[in-house]
């Protein structure tokens, strides 16, 4: 396998040792997994299976219907209470177990569990940090890019479906290679995939992510756009999706994936926010920004975080989308 983009030295030796010797692997990722999380999980599972290992995936939450192809052919198991059947647990696209939203995994795996490996490209934090082997690179475009580095360092060649999944993961977290986290290293990885699979790979992934859209998602997008309001002389775009919105579109909250990008695409907008109210009492707010606005700094005021230009938080002081909007507007002006 010829690899130009994934130097072995980038992967910590402990990670190579743990993944290299494991034969029965459980793969986990954050609640309501996105394209990067699912693409990374699929690529890792398929490549390990092709190498004669056993790799299974346990999920929490829901996923956008247009990402369901990433689960095809995988071994999906119910979330376990006992992890002793595995000799390694891999946590992808988040660095703390609290992101799984399982009360029994508030900080760490139960006693007697196998080692935990964390692979993530989000800036690390101390909240809920578990005892684990960490491979965290905030400068990476995506967790998919890090999984590619890991597989290359282990000299494991991903089969065609895994290469598609890796490209999907990276495209999902870079706005299909249009955002500032589209680094030279990311593009070199794409070049590796194309060399191995051919030019049709990019077309296939683009069609899956941008063209094969279910009708309910388009309806939901229209309703979300109808809620869009501009604030602070057009610098802040604010949208909301509520239980009534979901019911009208026949959709679920996972179908809002990337909707927050719509607001950022408007001329003059430097901060876009999408308030997600699914009726459970939990108000989730997604943020996207343009320089010099820091979405992560704003999210941190509410106990959230993420990347500088892409972040999110739960507004625990709000009971409705209107209250969440008021809380955001009260704090956002200082960042604009």
In a domain, residue 1? The reply is: no
Query: Residue 3: inside a domain, yes or no?
Result: no
Q: Do 47 and 95 share a domain, yes or no?
A: yes
Query: Quick check: 132 pLDDT over 80?
Result: no
For 177, counting Cβ atoms within 10 Å of its Cβ (0-12 exposed, 13-18 middle, 19+ buried), the class is middle
CATH for 75: 3.90.1640.10
291 shares a domain with 205: no
Where residue 236 sits, what CATH number does that domain have? 3.10.310.30
Going by C-alpha positions, the residue among 99, 47, 56 that lies closest to residue 78 is 56
Structure tokens, 143 = 């967790």
Question: What's residue 8's pLDDT?
Answer: 45
Average pLDDT value over all residues in the chain: 92
Same domain, 220 and 202: no
Does pLDDT of 81 surpass 60?
yes
The share of the chain scoring above pLDDT 70, in percent, equals: 95
Domain stop point among 210, 242, 271: 210
Name which residue leads in pLDDT, 104 or 96: 96
Pairing state of beta strands 133-136 and 116-120? parallel
Tell me whether residue 302 is in a domain.
yes
- CB neighbourhood size of 267 (10 A): 5
Domain boundary among 210, 228, 249: 210
Q: Is residue 143 located within the same domain as residue 182? A: yes
- Find the domain containing 268 and state its range: 215-335
Say if residue 174 is in the same domain as residue 240.
Answer: no
> What order do you get walking across the sheet with 54-57 strand by strand?
54-57, 24-29, 88-92, 116-120, 133-136
Residues 170, 221, single domain; the answer is no
User: Is residue 2 situated within a structural domain?
Assistant: no
Same domain, 202 and 64: yes
Q: 278 is written with which tokens?
A: 């699914």
Q: What is the pLDDT of residue 123?
A: 83
194 and 300 share one domain: no
Q: Into how many domains does the chain fold?
A: 2
> Is 222 part of any domain?
yes
Out of 160, 189, 210, pick the residue that ends a domain.
Answer: 210
Model confidence at 59: pLDDT above 60: yes
pTM of the model: 0.86
Q: Comparing 4 with 245, which gets the higher pLDDT?
A: 245
- The answer to whether residue 17 sits within a structural domain is yes
66: pLDDT strictly greater than 90: no
The reply to whether 206 and 220 lie within a common domain is: no
Per-residue pLDDT band at 153 (split at 50, 70, 90): very high
Q: Do 68 and 203 lie in a common domain?
A: yes
Q: 47 in a domain, yes or no?
A: yes
112 and 182 together in one domain: yes
Domain annotation covers residue 111:
yes
Residues 249 and 153 reside in one and the same domain: no
What is the average per-residue pLDDT within 293-298?
96
């Amino acid at each position: 396998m010829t690899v130009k983009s994934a130097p072995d030295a980038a992967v910590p030796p402990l990670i190579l040792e743990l993944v290299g010797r494991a034969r029965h692997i459980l793969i986990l990722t954050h609640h309501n997994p996105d394209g990067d999380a699912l693409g990374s999980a699929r690529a890792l599972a398929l490549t390990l299976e092709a190498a004669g290992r056993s790799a299974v995936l346990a999920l929490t939450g829901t996923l956008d219907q247009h990402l369901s192809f990433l689960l095809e052919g995988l071994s999906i198991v119910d979330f376990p209470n006992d992890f002793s059947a595995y000799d390694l647990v891999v946590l992808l696209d988040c660095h703390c177990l609290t992101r799984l939203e399982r009360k029994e995994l508030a900080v760490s795996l139960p006693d007697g569990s196998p080692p935990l490996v964390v692979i993530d490209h989000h800036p690390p934090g101390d909240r809920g940090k578990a005892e684990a082997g960490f491979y965290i690179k905030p400068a990476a475009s995506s967790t998919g890019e890090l999984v590619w580095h890991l597989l290359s360092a282990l000299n494991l060649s991903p089969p065609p479906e895994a290469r598609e999944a890796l490209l999907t993961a990276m495209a999902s977290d870079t706005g299909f290679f249009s955002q500032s986290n589209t680094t030279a290293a990311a593009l070199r990885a794409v070049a590796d995939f194309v060399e191995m699979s051919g030019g049709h790979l990019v077309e296939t992934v683009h069609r899956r992510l941008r063209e094969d859209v279910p009708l309910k998602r388009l309806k939901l997008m229209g309703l979300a756009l109808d809620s869009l309001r501009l604030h602070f002389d057009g610098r802040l775009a604010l949208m909301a999706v509520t239980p009534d919105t979901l019911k009208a579109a026949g959709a679920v909250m996972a179908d809002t994936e990337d909707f927050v990008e719509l607001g950022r695409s408007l001329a003059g907008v430097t901060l876009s926010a999408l308030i997600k109210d699914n009726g459970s009492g939990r108000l989730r707010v997604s943020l996207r920004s343009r320089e010099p606005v820091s979405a992560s700094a704003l999210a941190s005021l509410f106990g959230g975080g993420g990347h500088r230009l892409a972040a999110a938080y739960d507004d625990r002081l709000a009971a409705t989308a209107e209250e969440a909007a008021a809380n955001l507007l009260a704090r956002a002006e200082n960042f604009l």
